[in-house]
């Protein structure tokens, strides 16, 4: 029995290793091509390591930062990501607490609506969303977080609800007896206990908002505002020629921060998901 288990573990190890390499390989290709000149990227040399003939050094990275408004787009992306994640964590955690503790037909219906929003394809609402955002003046980086709050609430409420169900209600009852009102009970008792799920939801939502291309393209005025994913599409030189080197460098500058955030918070994601995996 142990021998069979050992063989099975080795087979799974090989399979998962191959899958991991397949996932990492495209990022590795972007990394090595970000140090090449454009002519090498557009030929068969795209699959080889940089050589003395096609090595561009940091020129592509400097070009990516200096041109196309990279720093401005970086500020837009940072503000949109931070404001959206903060709004999702703040409002959705309170909503989940209300749903669990009130527990009426209305809160149950509200919970199912949030869960249902996760399975609705974005393509079904994107044209209506674009028109609504223009009418409500939500088409700037400073208030697009309202739209992200709506689309990110489904997953956040789902995970927060699962965690709140595991919190003993007696703790909150003791706080009420001591004179705390509902807001004080939430912020002083419940909110600190939500930290594992807060971290996991925050990282997952940040990865989604930071890398999102379709929603900002539909909502924002492209002539005035570009996020980092939108900016990557505009690395074109004269006569429509694509500047592949700076584009690869820009992709790496975009990918590296979110990869670092995910690696640092990976254990918190697992803890948060496990903490919310309870039966209601």
Report pLDDT digits (tens) over 255-270. 888 888 778 777 766 6
Asked whether the predicted pLDDT for residue 279 surpasses 60, the reply is: no
Q: What is the residue-averaged pLDDT of the chain? A: 83
The pLDDT-based confidence of 274 (bands split at 50, 70, 90) is: low
The pLDDT-based confidence of 79 (bands split at 50, 70, 90) is: very high
- Per DSSP, the residues of 138-187 read --STTTTHHHHHHHHHHHHHHHHHHHHTTS-HHHHHHHHHTT--HHHHII
User: What is the C-alpha to C-alpha distance for residues 58 and 92, in angstroms, rounded to an integer?
Assistant: 43
Domain boundaries, the chain: 2-60, 67-275
The pLDDT-based confidence of 236 (bands split at 50, 70, 90) is: low
Q: What is the pTM of this model?
A: 0.83
How high is the pLDDT of residue 86? 95
Give the residue carrying structure tokens 């609402």: 125
User: What is the C-alpha to C-alpha distance for residues 79 and 150, in angstroms, rounded to an integer?
Assistant: 17
How high is the pLDDT of residue 8? 79
Q: Which two tokens stand for residue 195?
A: 């930290």
The CATH T-level fold of domain 67-275 is: MetI-like fold (1.10.3720)
How high is the pLDDT of residue 92? 94
| pLDDT tens sequence across 40-53 | 777 767 777 887 77
């Amino acid at each position: 029995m142990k021998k069979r288990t050992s063989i099975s573990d080795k087979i799974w190890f090989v399979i998962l290793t191959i899958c991991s390499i397949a996932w990492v390989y495209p990022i590795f290709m972007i990394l090595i091509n970000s140090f090449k000149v454009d002519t090498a990227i557009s030929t068969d040399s795209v699959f080889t390591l940089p050589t003395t003939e096609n090595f561009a050094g940091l020129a592509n990275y400097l070009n990516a930062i200096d041109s196309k408004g990279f720093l401005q787009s970086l500020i837009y992306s940072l503000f949109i990501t931070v404001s959206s994640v903060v709004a999702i964590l703040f409002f959705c955690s309170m909503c989940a607490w209300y749903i669990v503790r009130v527990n009426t037909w209305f809160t149950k219906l509200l919970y199912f609506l949030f869960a249902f929003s996760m399975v609705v394809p974005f393509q079904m609402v994107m044209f209506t969303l674009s028109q609504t955002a223009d009418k409500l003046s939500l088409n700037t980086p400073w208030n697009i977080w309202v739209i992200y709050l709506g689309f990110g609430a489904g997953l956040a409420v789902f995970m927060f609800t699962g965690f709140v169900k595991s919190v003993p209600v007696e703790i909150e009852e003791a706080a009420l007896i001591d004179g705390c009102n509902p807001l004080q009970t939430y912020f002083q008792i419940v909110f600190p206990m939500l930290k594992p799920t807060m971290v996991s939801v925050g990282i997952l939502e940040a990865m989604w908002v930071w890398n999102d291309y379709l929603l900002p393209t539909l909502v924002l005025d492209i002539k005035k505002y570009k996020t980092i994913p939108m900016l990557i599409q505009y690395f074109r030189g004269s006569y429509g020629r694509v500047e592949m080197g700076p584009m690869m460098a820009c992709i790496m500058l975009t990918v590296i921060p979110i990869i670092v955030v995910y690696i640092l918070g990976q254990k918190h994601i697992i803890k948060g998901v496990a903490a919310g995996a309870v039966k209601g």
